Structure 1
């Protein structure tokens, strides 16, 4: 999520209409269009689906995590949510949250018990965990850019570098996974745990890495020069890039379509629903769904 909740990123309706004329990717179900679920929030982010396909997402300014279940019902899951941003479920059903109120990484149990997994690196306060992906073995990768928040008591970072960190299963401290970014933001990985994608939102690139020993991200490869906030990955290896609607690119970084969303900014997306073929999109004050022909990478 970008600074000031993207209030300066305004796209005109005419621009949206132009993008809407761009062909939809074949991954979208025939005749499907984005469906507005609700516009009752301040700024939505961090969608993540559990094993049943229920989707959880954050309303960061209101310090809350919400649930959108497979029947289409909205409910408040957790208030006082640590100003959570990015979310992801581990294999045990725990919700891992980037809680940047105090720049921490949380584990939230199904019974809503909060455990702080990480609250510093080298005894220095993290910049602000932003997005997170949990590997099949339970290892956690998270991005740590610096976006000044109005609720912080500091005006500059304790750590100059904006990195991706890795927390090994059972470890108490993270290690540096990669740090060659201007500002890392969205992160997602493949089902086999061998590949991780990282969005450098200020660098205007999406990088692909192999997962090396000890969680190190190695063999950096620039997949595309498109920029994105959050992103999702489908079972065919296509990436869904957020920002101006949803731009869809294939494994080679080639654009294969665009899903228009009638909002000024889309922050993040994930796959969920009963059959895993529902694309859930967080877009400013609103949330949308799109029926798909493909499932998410999970």
Structure 2
């Protein structure tokens, strides 16, 4: 996700949370919470009890027992019992990142790869190294990488905000650029990426990374109208990109055989596209419409999740899957993944006590949710059995053992 537009308003008749950046959501939602936060501020989860469960839990004490079933894993429909494992608690595995994104499970290496868009690093989490696992540096300079996935041949595919491109790491260590331009113009900031059942690569290209924090600023235009931001200060990057300007949001497909880059959805189909995934049988494509980036022009995001039928390799018959509201609040969807039953697991931003992960049935009914002390930016299923849900939440990584498995590749 990225920065949100300023001002308050309504989107499709729903109250909007605009006026807050996603970073600001961590520290600016105290007035929206159902109860005051004891201990440290909302943005900090290093210590202090949570207001979400009773008795309050302290995320800073990793050995503190939690009553089971976990009080912060909520079943809203009996069908959630088929995918929820009640004997496992939520765990905070690690904290120390800037902004964690793009978790992807490496089946061969049996580790979780994730990006830190702010520090421009990638990390490797080994769940089998010690009781809490072990986090280590995977790539020191990732060019503000965001989304990751592994293709059918086990090659890592990464979205780079800084270079505004999608790349693939070959088995010999070389890099192939899958996409960096469309119709003669550079991409915005490729965000999330998935491997489709037909071998193609799909990715979203909003403009959340068109700034100095998660990438580099545009030379001018709506996102840098006064030209005060200089995109050429980083000497390591300045020789590798020129003056850039954002374009319309798109959801792209890269053909697995020819390498052809084609826009499958426009900003009019899904504005502010963020997380995306396919149904287990590949017949449906889901795309989250998240916050508006700086300089966004109408149509603006509606903060819902959209679903499309896949026919002859193309998404058609687009419609709203869910408006992503909870308790009358307009929430923000981010990363999404499907399980083998066709349920959708969705990262959610919003008030403390409501944010975390929402789980929807294939018919769009919310059947369960996971309350977290901070919103979830992205998530994936991993572990040798692909039944561990890994959740990137701001500066921290959380996990939950489930009774289901992730569909497709992370």
**Structure 1 length-normalised TM:** 0.91
What is the CA-CA distance between 1:21 and the residue it aligns to?
A: 6.0
- Any idea what SS the aligned residue of 1:146 has? coil
The 5 A counterparts of 1:23-62 are 23-24=74-75, 25-26=80-81, 27-52=83-108, 53-62=110-119
| Compared CA separation, residues 109 and 3, structure 1 to 2 (3 A) | farther
Check conservation: 1:136, 1:191, Cα contact below 8 A: no
> Unaligned 5+ residue runs, structure 1?
none
| Compared CA separation, residues 28 and 159, structure 1 to 2 (3 A) | same
- Any idea what SS the aligned residue of 1:8 has? helix
Rounded to whole Å, the distance in 2 between the matches of 1:188 and 1:270 is 11
Check conservation: 1:2, 1:229, Cα contact below 8 A: no
Residue in 2 aligned with 1:2? Answer: 2
Q: 1:140 aligns with which of 197, 201, 204?
A: 201
Check conservation: 1:176, 1:216, Cα contact below 8 A: no
Whose relative contact order is higher, 1 or 2, with alpha carbons under 8 Å and at least 6 apart?
1
Residue in 2 aligned with 1:205? Answer: 304
Q: 2:122 aligns with which of 61, 65, 75?
A: 65
What is the CA-CA distance between 1:131 and the residue it aligns to?
A: 0.5
| Compared CA separation, residues 116 and 261, structure 1 to 2 (3 A) | same
The 5 A counterparts of 1:9-28 are 9-10=25-26, 11-12=29-30, 14=35, 17-18=51-52, 23-24=74-75, 25-26=80-81, 27-28=83-84
125-134 or 70-79, which moves further after superposition? 70-79
- Any idea what SS the aligned residue of 2:118 has? helix
Deviation sequence 1:170-228 (CA, Å, 0-9, x none): 33441111111221110011343332110111312211112233x42112122111141
What is the CA-CA distance between 1:38 and the residue it aligns to?
A: 0.8
Rounded to whole Å, the distance in 2 between the matches of 1:232 and 1:256 is 15
Larger Rg belongs to: 2
Check conservation: 1:78, 1:112, Cα contact below 8 A: no
108-117 or 59-68, which moves further after superposition? 108-117
> Unaligned 5+ residue runs, structure 2?
5-20, 37-49, 54-70, 224-244, 291-300, 325-331, 349-354
Residue in 2 aligned with 1:279? Answer: 389
RMSD in angstroms over aligned alpha carbons? Answer: 2.2
**Structure 2 length-normalised TM:** 0.67
Rounded to whole Å, the distance in 1 between the matches of 2:2 and 2:310 is 27
Rounded to whole Å, the distance in 1 between the matches of 2:170 and 2:125 is 18
